[in-house]
Structure formats: structure tokens, C-alpha cells
Chain A
Amino acid sequence: MTPSALIEEADLHALVDGELDPERRRKVEDHLLQHPEDAALVEGWRRQNAALRAAFEPVALEPAPLSLREAAARPPAPPVGQGPIETGAIHWGRPGAAPRPMRKLDEIRASRRRQALASTLLTLVAGAAVAVAALLFLASRPPTQSPTLTRAATSYAARAGLTYATYILDARPVEIDAAHHDELLTWLQERVGFSRAPDLDGVGLRLLGGRVAPGVAAPAAFLIYQRDDGARVGLYFERAEAVAAPSGQRGQGVTVIEWRASGFAFVLVGALPPDAMQAAAEAAAAAVLTPPTESK
């Protein structure tokens, strides 16, 4: 590594991490054009980033376990076994416990009654507040226009996300690999009713293989593509009734792009940069529309 006098190694890292202002960024990029060895370093770090995201992004897509829902809103569990348990009883026989005088017991009972009264009132008020909030919420909600359509649209993407999280890092991600291309297509045709594995070599994605997966309403197909650096992208499709415009959504670094064609819902899922995902989705959308004889 021999960064020139003007460009230091820190600048190369800052370029990868988006910490440079536009002017400095241009300078560093010009430097890289003249110093392929530095460019290789930068590309290597970008591959590291992609590999890290590919390895751990599925964790963010999993539904969080019950113990983590609203964890911040709950108080930590009290440490067990500290302090005596207040029962209000007099522990005559307990060694080491000083017997409490009787008049103290009355005070304890009185304060306990006050606490009980206070907590009852608090519960009533909280209940009323919840009821009012629920009424306001129900009243303010606009009537949904076509519930089945929107539900289906979101659940194809959700199902694709789940399939992605399940298989993308599995030791056996695909059931039939790309070497048995014809066998894979025959299988998908039988079970899913559509058998085209779009050729995405043009955007640097090589077909790894595919499998049949549970869909929203019918068996779905899940194809996995891999980039040279190991980052993987999944293409999910399932027979759908309605025809809708393509839609894209992003969350937690994973891009999900959905579109409809030939009576099927297609969803492309992956942790690549959004523009790379967009290019892959466009290539796939074009490829599924070409007649089978012309495609690979």
C-alpha cells in the first residue's frame, strides 16, 4: 500500500465509509484511477462490507423474539433474593428477624390499603385512557379501499423476505443447483406454473439454483443468484391474480422490489446497493417477459 503524499490511507477508508466531502471525494477517486493497487484495497474493503451485510442482514429480517418486543419499555427484572419479602405477617419464629411491634402492623395495613386503593384507581384510569385511544384510532382510520389487494401486495414481499432470511445463508440454500438447469425448470413448471430463470449475468449475478417454497396462497419459486464477492440475491415468484405496478421498498439495508408480470408476482430481495438491485430487477423483469425459446 503506497498512498501518495496527498492521499493518505485514512482517505481511502473515508471514501468507502462516505466520510468525505464531494471535493475531497473527487480527488481520492482520481487518485484511485492512477493507483490500481489502492483501488484494489478500496474494492477489497467494499467486498468486506458486502460480505458482512450478506452474513448478518438476515438477522434483522427475522421477527424479533418475544423477549425483545418492547424491551426498552419494560423495567429490568428485579434481582432475585435481595431484601425480605414483605408479607405483613410477624415473623415470630424466624431467627434473626426482630419481631415487629403490633402498632406497626396497623400502620403497615393502613398503608397497604392506601396502595391498593391507589392502584385500583390507576388501573381504572388507564383502562379508560386505552378505551378512548382505541375509539379515537378507530374513528380516525380512513376506510381501506381494497383490503384483499393491499394485503396480498404486502404479503408477497413479506413472504419473499422470510424465504430470503430462511434460505439465503443455509448450508444448502438451493434444492437444485444451476448445473441441473433443465431439471429445475421442469420442477418449477410442475409446481409453480412458471419456469423461467432470468439470466442476470449482465448485472453480475450468477444463478446458484432454486427451490420450491411455501407461498402466500400457492407454492412459490425461490431462485438464488450470487455475485462474485459472495453477496446473494433472491428472486421469488408466485401466481397472483391482480396486476399492479412495480413497487420498491427499503428497510434495514435490504432492498425489496416487487412487480407483476404474466399473472405472477415477482419479488427480488437482497442486501446489494439500491441501484444495483434496481438494475437487477429491471433485467429480471425484462427476462421473464421474453419467450422461453430466446431465453437461456
Chain B
Amino acid sequence: MGRRADIIAGLGGATPALRRYARALCAGAGPAIADDLVQSALQSVGARIRSRELRPADLAEARIETYATLVALAEKKLGNAPGPAARHPPIVHGLAGLAFDERAVLLLVSLEGFGYDAAARIVGASRETALAQLMRARMALGAEGLRPVAPLESGRRAASHLRVVK
């Protein structure tokens, strides 16, 4: 009982990150849709833990389950959501241009910092599939939406820069 309550309370601490992820996943479709998704996901996971349908071993697992629920809900709900407006930065337009699965995996890894195994679990794919989606997303996003990356000279600078930035 105590542990389940702790896990449910702990999920509250994950809310800011879930909102960040949902907002990015919606790619300009609007903060209201994103917050609705977070609310539905948190309530659904909370209810399933209380009813013992879900028995996460720890908070990390419950968090993964919440992201998975959020992704599943978003896939259903975002079908006819509006796209980004002109005021959004280019990166948001780039995200909106990606396939849903690619966007979901890219944001899990790049924005939320999940490892490949966790990200694959969240989107319900194999590690290889998730990695392929991540690669496709990065290639597609690199071509559009961002400033083109550097000719040779700054490529060299980038290489020497590599050891500094973590």
C-alpha cells in the first residue's frame, strides 16, 4: 500500500517533464491538447496502479508506463490536430513534418534523455526499430527546419569541440 502510494505521489514529480514531452509531441497543435494528454495519462496510470492492474517495481518503471500511455493516447488523438502556426520556431515545424513514431522516439531520446531500451519499450517497438526511427527522424529534421550544418571548416571546429561538450 505504502509503496504504491509513494509511486503514485512520485509521478506528480514527473509532471513538468511529461508536459514538456507532450507539448513537443503535439508539435504546435496547442498547449490545451498537450495538457489533456498528460492528465489522461497520469490518471489512467494512477488508476491502474491503484487497482493493481499495473505493478511497477519502482518509480522509473511507472514513469515509463506513463510515457507509454501518453504516446498511445497521443497517436489516437493527434490524427486531425492543427499544425504549427507561423510564430512557432523552425524546429517545431520540422517536428510537425515527421511521422508520429519518428517524432515520439526522437523526443524520448533527445529531449527526455531516455536510453534506447527505455524508448523502445515506451513506443512498443524493438530496439532496432526504435533506433531506425531515431535515425530517420534526425536525418529528416537535419534537412529542414534547422540552419544547415556547417561546411568543412566549422566541421573541424566541431570535432575539436566534441570533447568539451558532454
Contact = CB atoms under 8 A, between A and B. Distances in A.
Interface of A: 9-10, 13-14, 17, 19, 29, 32-33, 36-37, 39-49, 51-53, 55-57, 59-62, 64-65, 67-76, 169, 171, 229-230, 252-253, 273-276
Interface string B6-35: 001101100111011101100000000001
Given A39-B159, A73-B9, A56 B146 contact: no
B1 interface: no
Nearest to A35: B159
Nearest to B117: A19
B12 A73 contact: yes
Nearest to A73: B8
Contacts of A49: 110-111
B42 to A, nearest CB: 4
Given A45-B142, A47-B149, A61-B16, A72 B42 contact: yes
Interface string B125-159: 00000010011001001100011011010111011
Interface centre among A49, A52, A230 (most CB of B within 10 A): A52
The 5 closest A-B pairs by CB, nearest first: A72-B46, A43-B158, A40-B155, A44-B149, A71-B42
A140 to B, nearest CB: 18
Given A36-B156, A59-B23, 5 more contacts: A39-B158, A60-B17, A68-B38, A71-B42, A171-B87
B155 A52 contact: no
Contact of A67 (B35, B50, B92, B110): B35
Given A36-B156, A40-B158, A59 B138 contact: no
A44 B144 CA distance: 12
A65 B23 CA distance: 14
A239 B50 CA distance: 49
A52 B110 CA distance: 8
A171 to B, nearest CB: 6
A274 B19 CA distance: 23
Nearest to A67: B39
Contacts of A36: 152, 155-156, 159
A68 B35 contact: yes
Interface centre among B12, B17, B92, B154 (most CB of A within 10 A): B12
Contact of A56 (B45, B111, B158): B111
A249 to B, nearest CB: 15
B166 A275 contact: yes
A120 to B, nearest CB: 23
A106 to B, nearest CB: 33
A71 to B, nearest CB: 4
A13 B134 contact: yes
A72 B43 contact: yes
A20 to B, nearest CB: 11
Nearest to B40: A76
Given A36-B152, A71-B15, A72-B42, A17 B20 contact: no
A35 to B, nearest CB: 9
Given A13-B138, A74-B43, A76-B43, A273 B12 contact: no
A71 B111 contact: no
A59 B18 CA distance: 10
Contacts of A274: 166
Contacts of B45: 72
Contacts of A51: 89, 91, 146
